Structure 1
Amino acid sequence: MTTPTLLPLTTTDLLPLLPELAVIGGAFALLMLDLFISNRNKVWTHFISVAILAVVLMLLVGGVGGQGEVFQGMFVRDTAADVMKTVIVLVSGLSLLYGWSYLRERNLYQGEIAVLILFATAGMMILVSAGTLLMVYLGLELLALCSYALVASNRDNKLAAEAGMKYIVLGSLASGLLLYGMSLVYGATGTLHLDVIHASIAQSDERLLLLTGALFMVAGVAFKLGAAPFHMWLPDVYQGAPAPIALFISSAPKLAAFGMAYRLLEAGVGPLSTELQYVLAGLAALSLIVGNLMAIAQTNLKRMLGYSTVSHIGFLLMGIAGGGEQGYSAAMFYAITYALMSTAAFGVIIALSRAGFEAESIDDFKGLNARNPWMAGLMLCAMFSLAGIPPFLGFWAKLSVLGAAVNGGLLWLVILGVISAVVGCFYYLRVVKVMYFDEPVGEPLPRHNDRILGIVLGVNSLVLLLLPVGLGPIMEWMRNSFAHLS
């Protein structure tokens, strides 16, 4: 194969990379600045990290730098990447806003928390803009290594240490599977560029080798998403990690993993989609069954949300299995919706927790409406949306992926999805039941004095009810991201 000629790098080539450069440059600057900030003034570290993400968000929304391919196609900035990056940066900022008072009360907030979140955000942004297998792996490992450290950040907590250890061991295994699959695809096509791989598959005589490599890559993607049977790390991480870290792990990385799935399975090995559809549909079905059945048995709310995530990934994979413009746009909408729903649910847990008390058992929410009707109402919005009850945002997300699956000829999976949605209502409505119909237990907790947390949580939860009003333009935005697939 002919080696591409290296062209001189100009300032114009770096313009599409401005959001990533801003995040990485800000993270390094914050890392150095934190050395000179005392523990009493760590609020400045927190404030600066949120400001960095706010600036990056404005760059993305304003389209600063423009779209295009740089570094000979290694980095791709297109509409789909900008949509995903916008939500990733927004949710990462939310996790910092939610986490400040929680982590400070427990003496867990150090400068490295904000720095790790910024570097993880940069990894996710690189991942969704990857144009080669090398960039996919680079973005993935930057995200993964930061995530491992964040989960184990509470070093005095045995559950956190155990969760961090499980995460890094299983994550390393999944990275190995992904890397092996990439090596097989490279061996069959002789290139790392996803667009060249896509074009080479039709003429390749190594279809079995390509399909084997694609299956290993699917396994790596399934682990990062948390799909069954690659989900065993997920409930332990949700339960063991501090609530703000669990909020972060449960939201933005799921959208980044969808971006990775799109780049690898459509932009890369898209011509193998007919064979891969059955694998993806099988993973979706298994995730729906395992996630819902295991969630029913949980009494710990964070662990229940962990298993319910597996079922939500089943719906997301349903959209990907449907394929085409409708399938991928529906799956991206579902990933974005789930990120917003997850931040709201974990946000209520954070708001109700205090130093020495973690509001993570379902029984901790007994009689919440009698003591704090506003907080009970916000949790109700989160639970109803996660359950897919109309008119909440979760209902429209489920409806979109079910429609995509029907369009992809997966009627049996749609039927299973509807049954799973009904089953899922049980454990979500159980939380609503204990809040509104059970008697309060124990002494009432003092009200949270973090006004920023209260405002952010209120807006986050009400968006789940009010956003469907403007759903048309949002869905059009999603479809435009994948219009080239039609």
Structure 2
Amino acid sequence: MTTSPLLPLTAADLPPLAPELVLVASAFALMILDLFVSEKNKIITHLFSVAALAVVLVMLATGTGGQGEVFHGMFVRDTAADVMKTVIVLLSGLSLVYGWSYMRERRLFQGEIPVLVLFATVGMMILVSAGSLLMVYLGLELLALCSYALVASNRDSGMASEAAMKYIVLGSLASGLLLYGMSLIYGATGSLHLDAIREAIPNSQENMLLVTGAVFMIAGVAFKLGAAPFHMWLPDVYQGAPAPIALFISSAPKLAAFGMAYRLLEMGVGPLSDQLQLLLAGLAALSLVVGNLMAIAQTNLKRMLAYSTVSHIGFLLMGVAGGGTEGYSAAMFYALAYAVMSAASFGAIIALSRAGFEAENINDFKGLSSRNPWMAALVLCIMASLAGIPPFLGFWTKLTVLGAAVQGGLLWLAILGVLAAVVGCFYYLRVIKVMYFDEPVGEPMPRNNDRVLGVVLGVNSLALLFLPLGLNPIMVWCQQAFAHLS
């Protein structure tokens, strides 16, 4: 493959980029459309953004544009990228659907929110298709800058502003670590292209420089994933951001961060995997321990979900540490499933919240089964799946990554994962307990009349119970994405 930046671009470079180009064009069109839409008709911009994501989703599902390497190998569209992009676009659309009634009731819906979501989605799509360090950083910063603005979208909330400032400061630090690691890798190999870096590593005499650069890149990836000890931003951002924004940040970007980890650690510095395995396993173990212990102490549901995210990232990293086709396919399966589960958990908070009342404390769910049995049943499905209770989706994801860890020679980590899963059951089951065994507190919450939200939440939650029935095709899909690693 030719990597010279002096070669001219051709029309053949454009078809694999078709989904990204359509989404960028839609985002710019939406910015212009918003200028002519009055405040009371903002649903037009909302529907336009959802429609744009739906079109891109169809393009990805049908393989429009085909696969290949374009821009001299800087952009790679392969099976792994298409799988992750499909779910990323789906989750971005879900976050907009979940958020409409919530933002409208609180007069928070501004025209820039769907624009930022579209650009953030483009950043994630670039990230999972990156074929060079330059493209990784471009996609990451596009996602990060949009995310910072989204967290601060509630301009009248001091908590949201504080969360956004913490996110920016810590995010900038993580980006600096990542960029420094990339510069060391470039210095040792003389290339920004991931495939050229992979080929140069076995013949390089700069092993210490390579390992140091890889460690700094892992630190940047760990921050974006929310792994301990780089998780400090998660609780404040999840609690301070409006619930639909927290839903978006907790789902699709986690999948994009896994895509970044795969591109950098396997496609880039893959020959160093044996030297980096213990570091990845250590991050996984620390995330499992810290995430579960901190989640137990939380009374705010958003913060509990934030710390539980740290634990789930530990399971995901368990698969990455295992390596190979089995390890990465298991980690992708876990990332896909967790993103769907996280969307459902914040969707339940959105459905139960009203203007002036945020259903974000565990005590707010007391007696929910007697007041709204259907909603209580949906929350039960969500919590049981997050806890990893059979036959829900979360059980099969944990089983898959545990198997990958054992196969990768990390039996001790798999045992720790089993213990962490048992501990994690406690704080998830506590939510179920207060819904079904505690007496209701306060005035009954008025029912949400948004039928679209109700249907989407119902499908999202019940999918956690019924998706395991079609588990084989999903696992085959993930394994095909990494078949070349075997």
> TM-score when scaled to structure 2?
0.99
1:354 aligns to 2:336 (yes or no): no
Q: Does 1:170 align with 2:167?
A: no
1:95-137 per-residue CA deviation (whole Å, 9 max, x = no partner) reads 0000000000001000100000000000000000000000000
CA distance in 2, matches of 1:450, 1:23: 27
Partner of 2:413: 413
Report the alpha carbon displacement of residue 12 of structure 1 after superposing the two structures with TM: 2.3
What's the CA shift for 1:447? 1.0
> How far 1:5 sits from its partner (Å)?
6.2
**Residue 424 of structure 1: SS of its match in structure 2?**
helix
Unaligned ranges ≥5, structure 2: none
2:169, 2:86 → 1: CA distance?
Answer: 31
Counterpart residue type for residue 134 of structure 1: L
2:237 maps to what in 1? 237
Task: Judge conservation of contact 2:3–2:72 (CA < 8 Å) in 1.
Answer: no
* 2:22 paired residue number: 22
Quick one: distance in 2 between partners of 1:423 and 1:5?
A: 52
The letter for the 2-side match of 1:159 is M
| Paired residues for 1:92-103 under 5 Å | 92-103=92-103
The alignment covers a number of residue pairs equal to 485
Whole-Å Cα distance in 2 between the matches of residues 24 and 215 of structure 1? Answer: 33
Distance 1:12 1:229 in 2: 44
Q: Where does the alignment leave 5 or more consecutive residues of structure 1 unmatched?
A: none
Instruction: State the match for 1:259 in structure 2.
Output: 259
What's the CA shift for 1:446?
Answer: 1.4
Structure 1 residue 6 displacement after superposition: 3.1
- In the TM superposition, what whole-angstrom CA distance separates every residue of 1:462-482 from its partner, at most 9, and x where no partner exists? 000000001001100100000
In structure 1, the residue corresponding to 2:203 is in which secondary structure?
coil
5 Å-filtered alignment, 1:173-252, equals 173-252=173-252
Distance 1:428 1:258 in 2: 25
The equivalent of 2:387 in structure 1 is 387
Question: In the alignment, what sits opposite 1:453?
Answer: 453
Contact 2:329 2:478 in 1 (8 A): yes
Q: CA deviation at 1:7?
A: 3.1
Q: Which residue of 1 aligns with 2:278?
A: 278
| Corresponding residue number in structure 1 for 2:300 | 300
Per-residue deviation, 1:459: 0.3
Give CA-to-partner distance per residue, 1:350-370, whole Å, 9 cap, x none: 000000000000000000000
In structure 1, the partner of 2:336 is 336
Per-residue deviation, 1:3: 7.5
The yes-or-no answer on 1:151 pairing with 2:164 is no
Paired residues of 2:366 and 2:438 also in contact (CA < 8 A): yes
Q: Which amino acid aligns with 1:254?
A: K
CA contact under 8 A between 2:5 and 2:72: conserved in structure 1?
no
Amino acid at match of 1:32: I
| C-alpha separation in 1, matches of 2:139 and 2:108 | 27
Q: What is residue 160 of structure 1 aligned with on the other side?
A: 160
Secondary structure of the residue aligned to 2:229 is: coil
Letter in 2 for 1:416: L
Residue 50 (structure 1) aligns with: 50
1:231-260 deviations in whole A, cap 9, x for unaligned? 000011000000000000000000000000
Partner of 1:123: 123
- Could you say what the CA RMSD is over the residues aligned between the two structures, in angstroms? 0.8
Letter of the aligned partner of 2:477 in structure 1?
W
What is the distance in 1 between the residues matched to 2:23 and 2:428?
A: 36
C-alpha separation between the residues in 2 aligned to 1:348 and 1:374? 12
The aligned runs of 1:52-131 (5 Å cut-off) are: 52-131=52-131
Distance 1:13 1:417 in 2: 44
2-structure distance, mates of 1:396, 1:381: 14
Amino acid at match of 1:239: Q
In the other structure, the counterpart of 2:327 is 327
Q: Separation in 2 of the partners of 1:147 and 1:172?
A: 12
1:401-440 to 2 correspondences below 5 Å: 401-440=401-440
* Cα-to-partner distance string for 1:195-221 (whole Å, 9 max, x where unaligned): 000000000000100000000000000
Kindly tell me: are residues 5 and 373 of structure 1, through their superposed partners in 2, closer, same or farther at Cα, counting changes over 3 Å? Answer: closer
Aligned to 1:288: 288
- Alpha-carbon contact 2:3-2:73 (below 8 Å) kept: no
For residues 6 and 184 of structure 1, the distance between their equivalents in structure 2, rounded to whole angstroms, comes to 24
Between the aligned partners of 1:72 and 1:11, the Cα distance in structure 2 is: 13
Distance 2:124 2:161 in 1: 24
1:461 and 1:435 map into 2 onto residues whose CA distance is 16
1:151-173, Cα deviation, whole Å (9 max, x unpaired): 01111111101100000000000
TM-score by length of 1: 0.99
Q: Moved runs in structure 1, 4+ residues, more than 4 A?
A: none
Provide the rounded CA distance (Å) in 1 between the counterparts of 2:461 and 2:403.
Answer: 26
Paired residue secondary structure (2:14) = helix
